[in-house]
Structure 1
């Protein structure tokens, strides 16, 4: 699928991020975005992208159709655009957490090619990661097109088992919030130790950003990086021992399991006939 056109329904944070990333890599004329809110359409329009208010105009012009709406709105959206989708037969890319491809296909009618994608909020800064899974109706060209769309704002990783999308949602989809919470806690701890709040927040945020860059540049080596800065008998070792004794690893495991369970529940609840 070369020189394909892209339609995005939903101009919230993720829809806007995708539109912005794509507009920097291809002619904006190949992109069309709809959203019921005029202010969101205006932000996309400022990128030089066509922004009709109605979804049918997007479906009609799209070879790749990105459904960037919340899970709770996916069923109604699919029902509304189903006739046009059956006529046009675009590749469907869903970024809704938990919603299974079989349910999307049922709501759209027929057997469309579907790629489920789970990007995360750093995509807003072209620094995200996205996990993708494709159904049996997709072709190699479809997969390449989906990777191009998500690759405009993130690194792309593929799964071969759709059931693992819930786990990916728990780790990368929800994961940024875990780190934001940790930065909040670290900044609060610095303030309790006597640092000015603004300085403590800057130190915590800057440290997280630098550590994140190191982990990104050395994939799979987080334990090694930690060991390198944990001198025997030093301050870091004392802190790490305190965290581990309080069940830090188990706590994160429980948090990820809770997010995974909720993603699965959303799929079951919203996909029920």
Structure 2
């Protein structure tokens, strides 16, 4: 029995971080000292564990210790990159644990699932449980209650579904709902007094929470799509015709390249191993 070690898929994580760093750098500008620093450090080492530490250390050094108020775009970038790294750490751990379970049972499939889907299912359960637990610690403004209740109902539905494919389908719905929460937060922010500031600290906390959690959900599903794509390429089969998050990411990358002719050098770094 041959079950792939995580190392076989690990290039996917690095490719995704490389593209994300490139797109964030392109979006927020060449003059952004924080993004200049972290993109340089990432492309020098492409070590995810080291990078996870560096993004926080450099944010503390460049933003917290120097400025009376941190740049919110940079904080959003930090939260997004933290979420991506944390998602990859968690999935890698659960993949290896799942693989060990498969090896011990001497099976190539358990409950009709491959190792990567078994790990995804565990990761989904863990992530959604953490979302609910962390959400309970936040004092939620009433004006966001509708979309938050929709998310909670969808999360509850995942735990009730016995079929794995239905849980995956619900995960896509949760991903969309979490994006909706971010949109609602940003809409309210722009609406109130035509300002770019939230009205209360609770809204700031919820917004930061939403960035982190929505990014985690998005990249968990995106990672699964890329693993499936790799399996399809290596085995010359079709496992999942629709890969909406890959399509979305490729479109975003294409749009970024069109708008960012001046930083092609950074883009070409994403293509190197």
Give TM-score scaled by structure 1 length.
0.25
Structure number with higher helix proportion: 2
**RCO greater where, 1 or 2, for CA within 8 Å and sep 6 or more?**
2
Give TM-score scaled by structure 2 length.
0.25
